[in-house]
Amino acid sequence: MVDPARALPGRDVPAFAVPSTHAVLGTPLRGPWPEGTAVLHLALGCFWGAEKEMWQLPGVVTTAAGYQGGYTPNPTYEEVCSGLTGHTETVLVAYDPEVLPHAELLRRFWTLHDPTQGFRQGNDVGTQYRSAVFTTTPEQAEAALATRDLYAPELQRAGYGDITTEIRPADEAGPFWYAEDYHQQYLHKVPNGYCPVHSTGVACPLPA
């Protein structure tokens, strides 16, 4: 990780415009959303493929690609890819927890990538590809830790190493900075675009 003192300074205002509406779901990208909507921020490698997986889940209200967990305000994609912002590519998931329980969303998160790889996913290498969960409620934090602790021994039995996923409140991780227009719902706009998820194929149990 870049030292905060060496991180890029960023800017006070965004360097680009962000669309107001989800290109697939037709819902507001920034809200407001229906009462009871929960928001969880998930980083699992390249956000193009991760976002597509999330917007297809029942109960999801909207998704967005962005940057979180670093130091640089209002970063650009190029800045994040330099490794000098500290951010990781993150997907905002706004969802109805009555339809999509926290633990089920997190189970999908764990099984869609390899959470043991540190600063990489597959051939994508760098701190911007690290695995992370940035929670907004105590219930999400509890579900994140519970599913992680259930999944860790399953991965080890399958020959994988320790989980390296960063789990902390979004308030500590810092703002979710929306990514550029072309990154939002990228694989809907570019159906043949390259951005696979890196599932291990190992199932994740749900907490009792």
Kind and range of the H or E run holding 110: helix 102-111
Q: Dihedral of the CA atoms 52, 183, 61, 75 (nearest 10)?
A: 130
3-state secondary structure of 77: helix
Instruction: Read off the tokens for 47.
Output: 């956000």
Question: Active-site residue among 46, 81, 195, 204?
Answer: 46
Residues comprising the chain, all counted: 208
From residue 14, alpha-carbon distances to 10, 74, 177 in Å are 9, 5, 9
From residue 34, alpha-carbon distances to 24, 28, 31, 69, 83 in Å are 18, 10, 9, 26, 36
**Cα(93)–Cα(60) distance, integer angstroms:** 7
Active site residue 46: yes
Q: Which residues are catalytic?
A: 46
